[in-house]
Each structure stands twice: as structure tokens, then as C-alpha cells.
Structure 1
Amino acid sequence: MPRIVFETAATLNGFIADEENSLDWLFAVVSDEQPPVAPNATVQVEGSTTYEWVLEHENLMANPQKWAEYFGEKPTFVFTRRDLPVPEGADVRFVRGAVADALPTIREAAGDGDIWIVGGGDLAAQFLDAGALDEISVSFAPATVTGGAPLFPRGLNADRLRLKSAKAVGQFAHLVFDVLPPN
């Protein structure tokens, strides 16, 4: 069965976006090496805020060919309550409703590959609530912000997390935790 992985970057003080939903702090990090990005994922999942930020930041509606450069032909499931634009040629599937209800469809689309939760932290927490989060992989950047979107807006005790790896990757500290089922 495919693993569901929340792979993201965060500031040293635990935010994945600042108060304006910007990732400028991330792109300001000069590093000769970049952390891995869910290499076994065949499907990606994200919330509408992440999706809209990528569309705008990369100007994907005007340059739809960039979608394939970044994401290939992977299906992208976007959890949203609104109608959103889709770049020409992108395999974007909008999901309205609970994570638990969408899981069979997402798993089927993933086949034997992993499912990458791109963002945000609240969506990853909803996968945890549905009992369907297997791994949290975070690349901590050498930056802090004064507020914004938290990395993971749920309490998760140490008995639910097992450190799998920790290493320096350029200027980033990359930590990977297995998420264990509740006792």
C-alpha cells in the first residue's frame, strides 16, 4: 500500500508560510544542495491556499508548460470549496469534502507509488485525523518569521513519532519521522 507522506519545508520556528502566505523566506535560502522532494510519489495532494500560491508565484496560467516541468503527469488532488482555474494540460482533480471520503480515490490514483501531501499543515493534520498519515518529512530552513501558517496545527505526542533520519542538506536540516498509530 502506498505511503502518505507530508513533505514540506518550514522555518526554524515552525511555519510553512508567513502571515501573507508567502514562501519568500524559503527562496531566500542560498544552498548548493536542495532537500529531496517525495521521490517515490506518484500523486500529490494540496490545499487550495498552496495550489493558488503555486499558480500565482509560477504564473502557471500564462505558462502552463511549466506545470509539466515541475510536476510531470502526476495527478494533483486539491482540497477546496471553490472553483479554481487549471493550467492547460495539468491533471488537477478538485476534492470537496472530508479526507477520509477522498482516500480511496487518491490511493487508487497513486497505484504502487506514494502520496505526497505538498501543503498545507492543516491538510496534513486532516490526514492524521483520518488515520492515514505515515510520514512527516521536514526540511528546516535557516530562517524565522513572526507568524503565519504553522507546520502542523495539531498536538502529536512523542509516542506517535519515531525519528527515521536526520541530516544536513546544504543549509537545511532534513528530519524524517514515521507516524505511528495511536496506542
Structure 2
Amino acid sequence: MGIIRYDTASTFTGFIADESHSLDWLFSVPGGDAPDADLMPEGAVVVMGSTTYSWVLDHTCALSHPQRWFADFGARPVFVFTSRELQRPEGADVRFVSGPVLDALPALRAAAEAGDIWIVGGGDLAGQFHDVGALDEIAVSIAPAALSSGAPLFPRRVGPDRLTLVEARAVGAFARVRYRVAPAS
């Protein structure tokens, strides 16, 4: 069985999106519009919330240009946690899920088979995985940018006894850090 990893980019002030739920700040950072291949995890399944999903659809125009969806996500399944009706790009394997993370875990693990599950956003969704003991790793590419408000990176309290540093390095303009998350005792 693979791991469940929350892997995202953040400002150094700890926000992943601005107050309008936009990631445009990221694309103004050198390398932010085309991340280093070393920063892209090999997730068999991608998970995101509806706000992230809607932003990706709008930003890439994937509904009218489905090939743009496939350029970013390929044919892998993408699970979107939502309570709203949303459209999907033609031919894309997008699965809409509502309800608690715990209820969706069997379907996520089945779709991933032995591969990893990659949570791309948002921070609260990643926190919900943490809350049920289903978050194995947190990886953050910290950008040289600051926002004064917006969507927080990880709106949970996690003590240092639960996080083990696995990696810290520079990747272009970003500082890359990765932590293993220990189960709650």
C-alpha cells in the first residue's frame, strides 16, 4: 500500500491561496508556472477539494480544452471532495466525493492500488485526512512570496513529536521541506 501525501506550494507566511482563492501569486514566482519535475510526486491518485478543482478548471480552461487537463493529470483518477455539482473535462477520470474522508478512504486506496495518494489542496482537506490518522507525509515547496491572508497551509495543530524531517533543500526559488507524520499516540 502506498502513502498518503499532502504536497503543495505555500508562501513563506503559510498561505496556499489568497483571499479570493487564487493561486496567481504562485505563477509570479520564478519556476512557479512550470514546477521542477523533482517537485511532482508520483501519485497514482490525486485528491483535491472543490475550490482547488474549480480554480484548476478555470485557470487551465480544461472544460473547453480537455487536453490541458490530461497534460497536468494524465489518465490517473482525481477525487474531488465537494458538496456541489461540478462539471468534468471530457474523458477525464474525475470522481466527485461527498461526506467524511474516512468514508472515502476505501475507494481512494482501491483506485491507487499499491500507489501513492497525492492531496494537492486544500489545507483543510489535508487536515481532515490528518484528523482520521490517514496522512503519512506533508511536503511543502515554500515560495519567496508573502500573503497577509488567504487559505492556510494546514489549519491544524501538530506537535513536533509527530513530525520527522525527511528532506530540506533548495529547488530553484523554492525551499522544499518534507515531513513524515507519525500516528497519534
TM-score (norm 2): 0.96
Are 1:10 and 2:14 matched, yes or no?
A: no
The structural deviation recorded for 1:66 is 1.0
The one of 82, 97, 100 aligned to 2:99: 97
Partner residue in 2 for 1:82:
84
Tell me the secondary structure at the aligned position of residue 140 of structure 1: strand
Give the superposed CA RMSD.
Answer: 1.1
Are 1:28 and 2:31 matched, yes or no?
A: no
Tell me the secondary structure at the aligned position of residue 140 of structure 2: strand
Q: How does 1:1-183 map to 2 (within 5 A)?
A: 1-31=1-31, 34=36, 36-39=39-42, 41-183=43-185
Tell me the secondary structure at the aligned position of residue 90 of structure 1: coil
Tell me the secondary structure at the aligned position of residue 176 of structure 1: strand
The count of aligned residue pairs is 182
The structural deviation recorded for 1:174 is 0.2
Amino acid at match of 2:154: F
Structure 1 residue runs of 5 or longer lacking an equivalent are: none
Deviation track 1:16-57 (CA, whole Å, cap 9, x = no partner) reads: 001111111110011397251212x11000000000000001
Separation (CA, whole Å) in 2 of partners of 1:21 and 1:179: 27
Tell me the secondary structure at the aligned position of residue 149 of structure 2: coil
The structural deviation recorded for 1:69 is 1.1
Amino acid at match of 2:170: A
Separation (CA, whole Å) in 1 of partners of 2:98 and 2:184: 27
Separation (CA, whole Å) in 1 of partners of 2:35 and 2:158: 30
Amino acid at match of 1:23: L
TM-score (norm 1): 0.97
Structure 2 residue runs of 5 or longer lacking an equivalent are: none
Contact 1:33 1:170 in 2 (8 A): no
Amino acid at match of 1:105: A
